Chains A and B, each alone.
Chain A
């Protein structure tokens, strides 16, 4: 298949899968087989796209023209392919996990669940392969709407309220500042195509560019830059596989990916680096620290992870705002590494809940003995997110530090160091609690709490255990693979010599 066909297939396959899922809705086994086949097929296609990618022959594929000059078109380029690879690779694992989780929970409306999942992945593919800002916006909105039914899945009052917040934040940001910034860019430059080196240089003065950058940074609500992060904890009402999708694979990564694309292909890295992004650096750094501190106060595991995501995403925004090739490289790596690390943590949190019916840090004391493999995977994920070797998460932290030193931002360097400590501070206690504390019912200081809903012991389906173990192993593999990824994206971000 040619590159164009592959791109089209990558975008359309998930939608076709969704359709088949709906058709097979009455037969759960068949339906889930369709999901897995679709995920496998997508992974193959994306792998083919990446392996056959050649920058010199990449041409855009125009699909439609919504208004003269406002085109929907696809175009493969390295950063997008990296994102596509992450999303396609994790969809299969997430689907496996979903099957285990949803069946164990006897969840209703599973057909809708898998169909929306596929549509969300298709939207993510379209975001990854978007050839211009217009297409990216189209796919970005599609992703928002496709994930709404997933967030609201339980349809309890709390879920409806949480989903409302989710939607309100994402649409308020995308329909006002993001869309406004796109139209502004369009009018100012006459194009929206992603062009290496950017299209905005010289079209407006730096002050306006800084405003435009802020409009983008807050317009892309999925990047969850504080204080526009409120949707992320609110969306925790979703089933855990969805949270994993939202906070590791599709939604938040689509957000920071959009920012990276805008930095590289709309503004141009140098334009941001000459001072346009400086204010954003401050905001993003503050967001990193603040979110980490909040995460430490959260008892609910998923809420803790959500705030952790806010902090880790802000690092990508920070990378974008620094406007240095090496920082952009860090941003791209962070996108990959955080995806694998955080999905491990979410898989872990969900599996803990399945196995023990516990959702809170204060309740999980001593569960390590019950699910040792799971908790070790959890530890791997935690260390990777915090940025310790030998886990993939080390690379972005390291490169960001280097960028901050390059730009002589001492305070920032300190902030980054601090953030690693804070990350350890809110993630490692989960592990400690699980392994080194006694369970409450054996602890004389705690009275056993009566749980109204779950009397029987939970069990951990094997399908819910394999994915976190695989992703945890992936964190280690990525530590080794990181230079290859860097080499892949180096040409487009102007990174000459590999560090």
Chain B
């Protein structure tokens, strides 16, 4: 019981992590995949913040009244990771938009037959001519 409550953030991390990864793997829609990826990454953010916490510590702001602080470093790190996550999401969504333009779909099952190695190459020019 102590584990369940005391380690609550970690349980949450596990649930989030598995949810995110499952969506990435199981969903056929590219946008949903990206959402899953986002959840997966968020779980790691939570993990980092959780490991920085020190029992009974205060937020890491220097003050004579306190002597035990939480570790600020993981939080700092995760700021960077958040930026990275946002950038990844942005590139991913941009790609999804371009895929929608080029193939007319973002569903994996529709894309697969169009993207095999033996399919003819479709260039920008041909695409414009067709539309």
Asked if A and B touch directly (CB within 8 angstroms), the answer is: no
* Partner-B contacts on A (CB < 8 A): none
